[in-house]
Amino acid sequence: MKYKDYSSDVWATINNTLDQVSRQQDQPIAAFDADGTLWDIDLGETFFHYQIDRKLVALPASPFEHYENMKAQDPRKAYLWLAQICQGKSLAEVQDWAKAAVKAAAPIPVFNEQKKLIQLLLSKGVKVYVITASVKWAVEGGADLVGLSHDNIIGVETEVQDGIITDKQKGVITYRQGKVEALLQKTGGKLPFLASGNTMGDFNLLESATHLRLAISAASRDDKIFKTEKELADHADQNGWLHHRFI
Q: Is residue 92 in a domain?
A: yes
What is the extent of the structural domain holding 228?
8-245
How buried is residue 7: exposed, middle or buried, by Cβ count under 10 Å (0-12/13-18/19+)?
A: exposed
Q: Please report which confidence band the pLDDT of residue 238 belongs to, taking 50, 70 and 90 as the band edges.
A: very high
Query: What pLDDT, on the 0 to 100 scale, is given for residue 70?
Result: 97
In the chain, the percentage of residues whose pLDDT exceeds 70 is: 100
pLDDT, mean of residues 10-14: 97
Q: Pick from 40, 31, 43, 28: which is nearest to 143 by CA?
A: 43
Contact predicate 39/196, CB 8 Å: no
Q: For 163-193, how does the pLDDT look when each residue is reduced to its tens digit (9 = 90+)? A: 999 999 999 999 999 999 999 999 999 999 9
26-55: pLDDT as tens digits: 999 999 999 999 999 999 999 999 999 999
**pLDDT number for residue 192:** 98
3 occurs within a structural domain: no
- Whether 1 is covered by a domain: the verdict is no
161/49 Cα distance (integer angstroms): 26
Q: Round to whole Å and give the CA distance between 37 and 175.
A: 15
Is 90 exceeded by the pLDDT of residue 1?
no
Q: What is the pLDDT of residues 65-106, one digit of tens each?
A: 999 999 999 999 999 999 999 999 999 999 999 999 999 999
Burial of 3 (0-12, 13-18, 19+ CB in 10 A): middle
Segment (H or E) for 127: strand 127-135
Q: Is residue 77 part of a domain?
A: yes
Quote the number of domains for the chain. 1
Max CA pair span of the chain: 56
The average confidence (pLDDT) of the chain is 97
Query: What is the domain-level CATH number for residue 233?
Result: 3.40.50.1000
pTM of the full structure:
0.96
- Answer whether residue 2 is part of any domain: no
Q: 180-234, pLDDT tens digit by residue?
A: 999 999 999 999 999 999 999 999 999 999 999 999 999 999 999 999 999 999 9
Identify the pLDDT of residue 10.
96
